[in-house]
């Protein structure tokens, strides 16, 4: 079986995608499923992942009566980044904003010479990457 990965907007592998994840979950277990998936994307793709979810309640809106979220900014787990892979975290279920200084050159350094170089270890017999210009 062979998979093709198309990345739009980049002309070569030095462009690093960052992932923005808006979400709506109603309980902590649902939130943690989203968070663990986002942490996995940050590690395996060596990118920043920004999570932003709804909190509070909307009593007159169908299926939006309760919500649970915690905003955070996730990083790869390598030396130039936060020790636990979390650049910023907020208090659960409180309306707040997360801030962090993110350096794209740190991502580039991780791609080119980090502890684990996921993009260089890709099995090209199973996966190919096709870069297409946006337009």
Q: How confident is the model at residue 9 (pLDDT cuts 50, 70, 90)?
A: very low
Q: Which comes out higher in pLDDT, residue 59 or 78?
A: 78
pLDDT tens digits, one per residue of 11-22: 344 455 788 999
CB environment 56-75: b (16+ within 10 A), e (fewer): eeeeeeeeeeebbbbbbbbb
Provide the pLDDT for residue 6.
Answer: 40
Tell me, rounded to whole angstroms, the distance of Cα 20 from its chain centroid.
Answer: 6
Please give the residue range of the domain that contains residue 68.
3-132
Residue 103, domain CATH: 3.60.110.10
pLDDT score of 57 more than 80: no
Neighbours of 39 (CB within 10 A): 20
Based on the number of CB atoms within 10 Å of its own CB, is 11 exposed (0-12), middle (13-18) or buried (19 or more)? exposed
Provide the pLDDT for residue 89.
Answer: 93
Q: How confident is the model at residue 108 (pLDDT cuts 50, 70, 90)?
A: confident
Neighbours of 2 (CB within 10 A): 7
CA 6/CA 129 separation, integer angstroms: 6
Provide the pLDDT for residue 135.
Answer: 62
Provide the pLDDT for residue 16.
Answer: 59
Q: How confident is the model at residue 55 (pLDDT cuts 50, 70, 90)?
A: confident
Most distant CA pair in the chain, distance: 53
Tell me, rounded to whole angstroms, the distance of Cα 101 from its chain centroid.
Answer: 15
Number of domains in the chain: 1
Q: What is the dihedral of CA 83, 86, 6, 8, to 10 degrees?
A: -120
Provide the pLDDT for residue 15.
Answer: 55
């Amino acid at each position: 079986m062979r998979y093709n990965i198309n990345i739009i907007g980049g002309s070569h592998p030095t462009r690093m995608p960052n992932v923005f994840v808006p979400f709506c979950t109603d309980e902590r277990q649902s939130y943690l499923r989203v968070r663990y998936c986002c942490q996995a994307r940050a590690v395996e793709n060596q990118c920043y992942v920004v999570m932003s979810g709804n909190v509070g309640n909307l009593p007159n809106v169908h299926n939006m009566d309760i919500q649970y979220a915690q905003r955070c900014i996730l990083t790869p787990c390598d030396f130039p980044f936060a020790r636990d892979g979390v650049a910023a975290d907020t208090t659960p279920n409180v309306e707040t904003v997360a801030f962090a200084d993110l350096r794209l050159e740190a991502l580039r350094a991780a791609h080119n010479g980090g502890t684990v170089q996921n993009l260089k270890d890709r099995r090209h017999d199973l996966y190919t990457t096709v870069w297409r210009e946006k337009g």
